[in-house]
Structure 1
Amino acid sequence: MKRDVIIIGGGVVGLMTAYSLQKAGRSVTVIDETDISDNTSFGNAGLLSAFDKTPLSNPGVVLDTLKLMIKGESPVNIHPKLDYKLFRWLFKFVQSANEDRLKRTLALFEKYGQITIDRYKQMQIEDGLDFDFHHDGMLSVFTEEKSYEKKLAKYNFVDNDRFEIFDNSKIKEYLPLGNEKIKGAILFKRNAHFDPKRVMLEMKNYLSKNGVEFILNERISNIKFKDKKVASISSALNTYEAETYVLSTGYQTLLADIRKKELMMTPAKGYSITFTMPKELEPKTSTLFADLFIVMTPRRNDVRITSKLELGSTDPRVIKEQIESIKENFKKYTIPFEMEDIVEWSGFRPLTPNDMPLIGRDEEYKNLIYGMGLGWLGMTFAPSVGEILKDLIIKDSENKNNDDILLFSGFYQG
């Protein structure tokens, strides 16, 4: 049986693309190597941070990281190994960390971030989905005086709809667990947060009930081409044919490698710690410890902190030293409290060197479409990417005729 659209990969980008296509009346099959109950999307902080937040690739990032390394607070670990692709990625990352790129990135983040937030709100109202969604801003907390002063210099104007600079009493109201080492904080009001696990499970259930076919616990390991099209994909058990294939496999590039398509992307290992704590100490909203690369997000029944950026690692295990490092850095700036019911997680995110996703139609095999490379911004931009890929498919258009692809895709924003 030849299917209409097969999406390979059931992360948040795959599910949001399936959602947009299903709404447009297309028949969709999602194939994933897991049961979609604990993939990388589940370990996300849940922070929707498209507004007033510096992307990873930004001017000064290398020097700032080196300073944190000296203090023992750096979130970045690079495992030394002879990997040509990683060296190329690092070189491209340093090249991308400039003011011109930053301006373009921030503008694109705001454009597609707003589309995403509007879509999440619409899905909850129209489809009755429960994401534990809160559009109440992101508190950016600074532990370094210089970085706080630098941020204040950029926000030396009044815009009550966009941000609020907090005094000490307001910081204590929003972050009661913070201690006197915190130098300052700014609430960026346009951002939001939710529970990624709830989002993934709600989406999976909704799509299943509305006709999307799921083939789970099956790893697609081969892709075959004929007459400038993808002819089929196959696992160890089955072969599948479709009119259109969407490659949304996160950091895994096996099928792209078979296609001989080099993707400028590297697996970036991150960690999360989910726990319960005294309610009176929970942060009022999602909080970014900007100088530590730690995000703390309150949820309905618990709290999650996420951190670390390991490059060059292929070890999927939760490394205890990394977890303890996160806790140690975090506790320097909080009053003592007990983390209870702790759940530790690690996973790999597909990271591009310029924060741009790799989305669009393959230029040689026209029925193959990429939806990859969103790093830890998958939740922040997945609905926008899903809409872009849906338009590409239903209009049967080329990349050059799709303004969103030309604007937002790393294939064209190199």
Structure 2
Amino acid sequence: MKRDIIIIGGGIVGLCTAYYLQKSGKKVTVIDENSITDSTSFGNAGLLSAFDKTPLSYPGVVLNTLKLMLKGQSPAIIHPSFDLKVYRWLARFILSANEKRTKKTMMLFEKYGEISLQLYEKMISEDSLDFDYHRDGMLSVFTEEESYKQRLQKYNYVDEQRFKILNKDELLEYLPSATSKIKGAILFKKNAYFDSKRVMLELKNHLEKAGVEFILNEKINSIRVENNEVKHLVSSKNIYEAEHYVISTGYQTLLAQKCGRDLMMTPAKGYSITFEMEEKFKPKTSTIFNDLFVVMTPRRDNVRFTSKLEIGSSDAKVVKKQIESIKKNFFEYNLPFEMKNEIYWTGFRPLTPNDIPLIGRDDEIKNLTYGMGLGWLGMTFAPAIGTILTDLIVNDKKNAHSDDILLFSGFYQ
């Protein structure tokens, strides 16, 4: 049986692309090597941080990371590796950490982040999807005096619609666990958050009811290409044919390599801790501890921490030492409270060196499209990416004819 579209990968980008392709009238099949119950999208903090959040590769990131390493608080760990691509990635990451690149990236984040927020809100209203969605802003907390002063220099004007610099009493309203060791906090009002697990399950259930086919726990091992066209996919069980194919496999690049694409991406291991806590200590909105790279997000039934950025690791197991490190860093600046019914998770984020996703049609293979490299911002941009890829495929556009691809694809940065 020949299908219309096959999407390889059932993360948030794959599901959002399936959502818009299905709405356009296409018959869509999603194939994933797992059960879509524990992917990187499930472990996401749920913070939709398109506004006033610097990218990973910002000016001063190397020096700031070294300072935190000396204090034993650095979220970043770089493991020795024999893979030269890791060092190529690191070199490009450092080159991207400049003022000009950061300014451009943040402008793109705002453009496509706002599009995504509006699309999420449309999904909720039109399809009655329960995402536990809140557009209550993002609390940005600073534990280092220098980084707080630097941020205040950038926000030395008044814009009540965009941000508010909080005094100590206001900080405690938003973060009741805060101690006097915190140097300052800014509420950035345009951001939102939701429950990433709930989003994934709601979207999957909706797509199944809408007729999207899911083939789960089946890994695609190879792609057969003839005359600049994908002929079929091969798994250990079956051969699959379609008119068009989308590779959205997160950090895994093997299929792209088989198609001649050496994607400049590296897997970065991250952690989350999901737990229950007393209401009196719960944050009012999603909170990012800038200098610690810890995000704390309240949800309907629990709270989630996310943190850590391990480069060069292939260990898929939860390392208890890293869990304890996250807690230690957090409670250095917060009152102690009991974390009940803790659930630990770890997974790999697909990071590009300049925080820009790798999206668009293949230059040579005419019926192949990529939706890759969203890193820690998959949830933030997935609906926008889904509409961009749907426009390319449904209208049979070349990359050169899509302003969005030319603006927001790492293939053209």
Tell me, in whole angstroms, the C-alpha distance in 1 between the residues paired with 2:28 and 2:253.
22
SS in 1 for 2:203: helix
Residue in 1 aligned with 2:85? Answer: 85
Does residue 119 of the first structure (1) align with residue 119 of the second (2)?
Answer: yes
Residue in 2 aligned with 1:52? Answer: 52
- CA positional deviation for 1:113: 0.2
Residue in 2 aligned with 1:95? Answer: 95
Does residue 286 of the first structure (1) align with residue 286 of the second (2)?
Answer: yes
- CA positional deviation for 1:398: 0.6
Does residue 327 of the first structure (1) align with residue 327 of the second (2)?
Answer: yes
- CA positional deviation for 1:83: 1.4
Does residue 194 of the first structure (1) align with residue 194 of the second (2)?
Answer: yes
Residue in 2 aligned with 1:35? Answer: 35
Residue in 1 aligned with 2:140? Answer: 140
Residue in 2 aligned with 1:212? Answer: 212
Tell me, in whole angstroms, the C-alpha distance in 1 between the residues paired with 2:257 and 2:150.
43
User: CA offsets, 1:47-92, max 9 Å, x none?
Assistant: 0000001010111000000000011000000101221100000000
Residue in 1 aligned with 2:238? Answer: 238
Does residue 162 of the first structure (1) align with residue 176 of the second (2)?
Answer: no
Residue in 2 aligned with 1:223? Answer: 223
Tell me, in whole angstroms, the C-alpha distance in 2 between the residues paired with 1:257 and 1:401.
25
Tell me, in whole angstroms, the C-alpha distance in 2 between the residues paired with 1:388 and 1:336.
45
User: CA offsets, 1:215-234, max 9 Å, x none?
Assistant: 11100011000111011101
Counterparts of residues 376-395 of structure 1 (less than 5 Å) = 376-395=376-395
User: CA offsets, 1:113-145, max 9 Å, x none?
Assistant: 000000011100000000000000000000001
- CA positional deviation for 1:260: 2.5
Tell me, in whole angstroms, the C-alpha distance in 1 between the residues paired with 2:255 and 2:152.
46
- CA positional deviation for 1:257: 1.7
Tell me, in whole angstroms, the C-alpha distance in 2 between the residues paired with 1:239 and 1:62.
46
User: CA offsets, 1:180-202, max 9 Å, x none?
Assistant: 10011000000000000000000
Normalised by the length of structure 1, the TM-score is 0.99
Residue in 2 aligned with 1:263? Answer: 263
User: CA offsets, 1:129-171, max 9 Å, x none?
Assistant: 0000000000000000111011011101110000000000000
- CA positional deviation for 1:336: 1.1
- CA positional deviation for 1:256: 1.1
Tell me, in whole angstroms, the C-alpha distance in 1 between the residues paired with 2:219 and 2:53.
36
Residue in 1 aligned with 2:109? Answer: 109
User: CA offsets, 1:360-409, max 9 Å, x none?
Assistant: 00001010100000001000000000000000001101101110000000
Tell me, in whole angstroms, the C-alpha distance in 2 between the residues paired with 1:342 and 1:74.
23
SS in 1 for 2:207: helix
Tell me, in whole angstroms, the C-alpha distance in 1 between the residues paired with 2:85 and 2:226.
29
Tell me, in whole angstroms, the C-alpha distance in 2 between the residues paired with 1:48 and 1:16.
15
- CA positional deviation for 1:258: 1.3
Q: Hey, which bits of structure 1, 4+ residues long, moved more than 6 A?
A: none
Tell me, in whole angstroms, the C-alpha distance in 2 between the residues paired with 1:235 and 1:40.
22
Tell me, in whole angstroms, the C-alpha distance in 2 between the residues paired with 1:345 and 1:211.
31
- CA positional deviation for 1:35: 1.1
Tell me, in whole angstroms, the C-alpha distance in 2 between the residues paired with 1:101 and 1:26.
37
Corresponding residue pairs, total? 413
Residue in 1 aligned with 2:348? Answer: 348
User: CA offsets, 1:9-33, max 9 Å, x none?
Assistant: 0000000000011111111000001
Normalised by the length of structure 2, the TM-score is 0.99
Tell me, in whole angstroms, the C-alpha distance in 1 between the residues paired with 2:229 and 2:83.
31
- CA positional deviation for 1:109: 0.2
Tell me, in whole angstroms, the C-alpha distance in 1 between the residues paired with 2:367 and 2:93.
30
Residue in 1 aligned with 2:307? Answer: 307
Tell me, in whole angstroms, the C-alpha distance in 2 between the residues paired with 1:38 and 1:72.
30
Amino acid at match of 1:408: F
Tell me, in whole angstroms, the C-alpha distance in 2 between the residues paired with 1:270 and 1:366.
35
Tell me, in whole angstroms, the C-alpha distance in 2 between the residues paired with 1:100 and 1:366.
34
User: CA offsets, 1:278-312, max 9 Å, x none?
Assistant: 11100000000011000000000000000000000
Gaps spanning 5+ residues in structure 2: where?
A: none
Residue in 2 aligned with 1:181? Answer: 181
SS in 2 for 1:369: strand
Residue in 2 aligned with 1:366? Answer: 366
Residue in 1 aligned with 2:6? Answer: 6
- CA positional deviation for 1:272: 0.3
Residue in 2 aligned with 1:66? Answer: 66
Residue in 1 aligned with 2:296? Answer: 296
SS in 1 for 2:41: helix
Tell me, in whole angstroms, the C-alpha distance in 1 between the residues paired with 2:21 and 2:195.
24
SS in 1 for 2:379: helix
Tell me, in whole angstroms, the C-alpha distance in 2 between the residues paired with 1:143 and 1:58.
18
Tell me, in whole angstroms, the C-alpha distance in 2 between the residues paired with 1:258 and 1:61.
34
Amino acid at match of 2:7: I
Amino acid at match of 1:106: M
- CA positional deviation for 1:261: 1.1
Amino acid at match of 1:77: I
Residue in 2 aligned with 1:404? Answer: 404
- CA positional deviation for 1:335: 0.5
Q: CA RMSD in A?
A: 0.5
Tell me, in whole angstroms, the C-alpha distance in 2 between the residues paired with 1:320 and 1:357.
31
